[in-house]
Amino acid sequence: MFFTLSEIQLLSRKMKGFPRAISEELRGWHWNEPPLYPSSNTLLSVSDLTNGLCDSGRYVYLKHKGIIPKAEAKIGNTVHTTYTTAIETIKRLIYEHEDLDSVKLRTLMTDEFYNLRVEVIEVAKILWDHIVSIYSAELEKARSKPFLRKDSLASLVIPFYVEYPVDGSLVGLQSALRVDAFIPTLPLIAEMKTGSYKRDHELALAGYALAFESQYEIPVDFGYLCYVNVIEGKVHNNCRLIVISDTLRQEFIEVRDRALRAIDDDVDPGLAKKCSADCPFLPYCKGG
């Protein structure tokens, strides 16, 4: 998730070597035809559909029924907030300061950290410092190039967007979706998670790709699934390149359609085969 120009170049070469054949009818720009056309006016969240917490779909059903879940995971929120804020802050500082170098950036980012509001501050500090270290080095590399405007410098140091907005309403998804990270030059959608791998997390990439394709009519063949965890004082960034294949797209559409039917017909899908201990609806489901 800590993309640099050199890493993006490597990803580009890797993507070129991956075989993929995606059916035309499963491209997002065919949103007005089966199987993509949604059978409902209800709009769903990609994260609700693909969080890997509930295989029956009851999570989405209860949320749309207005059941209040318990607080979300503290670690996950801390990692996401820290990541997004640090990247945005580095970009802002590049625009605000003349002749910004790596030493000054580190000093400014140390001060900026104390404006961060998260629940697990120890995890946030480790991740924040990790991000500062990476992009301070990238700033020094970029500064060696002559005649750069601030906008060009910022795009070389951080060549991607965080919380990239996508309108998924044409494919039955919310109009204000946010992709964790988006690399426009490839193009590549990246999803950041904490904890361990879940197959459902790959479906999130398919959902965002379908939404992006429906809005911009630009093909998105790949996603990047990253697990960012802070363990024993170190940041572990485990990422894999995922082909957003026909199988992945079809599976996401089936999950979407099942959730839409449950909500619109007001039919409780029932308990999952195995309830996740991390599910915020677990107290409700255990109680009936």
- Please provide residue 283's backbone torsions phi and psi, each rounded to the nearest 5 degrees: -60, -40
Q: Which residues fall within 8 angstroms of residue 141, CB to CB, at 6 or more apart?
A: 156
Q: Which residues fall within 8 angstroms of residue 213, CB to CB, at 6 or more apart?
A: 27, 28, 29, 219, 220
- The answer to whether the bond into 38 is cis (omega within 30° of 0) is no
Spatial distance between the Cα atoms of 31 and 286, rounded to a whole number of angstroms:
38
Per DSSP, the three-state class of 19 is: coil
Per DSSP, the three-state class of 213 is: helix
Helices 102-113 and 74-96, packing angle to 10 deg: 140
Task: Give Cα separations from 193 to 35, 60, 236 (angstroms).
Answer: 29, 19, 12
Q: Which residues pair with 228 in a beta bridge?
A: 237
CA geometry: angle 84, 148, 150, nearest 5 deg: 40
- pTM comes to 0.95
- From first to last of its 288 residues, the chain has per-residue pLDDT tens of 999 999 999 999 999 999 889 999 999 999 999 999 998 999 999 999 999 999 999 999 999 999 988 876 789 999 999 999 999 999 999 999 999 999 999 999 999 999 999 999 999 999 999 999 999 999 999 999 999 999 999 999 999 999 999 999 999 999 999 999 999 999 999 999 999 999 999 999 999 999 999 999 999 999 999 999 999 999 999 999 999 999 999 999 999 999 999 999 999 999 999 888 889 998 888 875
Q: Which two tokens stand for residue 115?
A: 């404006």
pLDDT at 288: 52
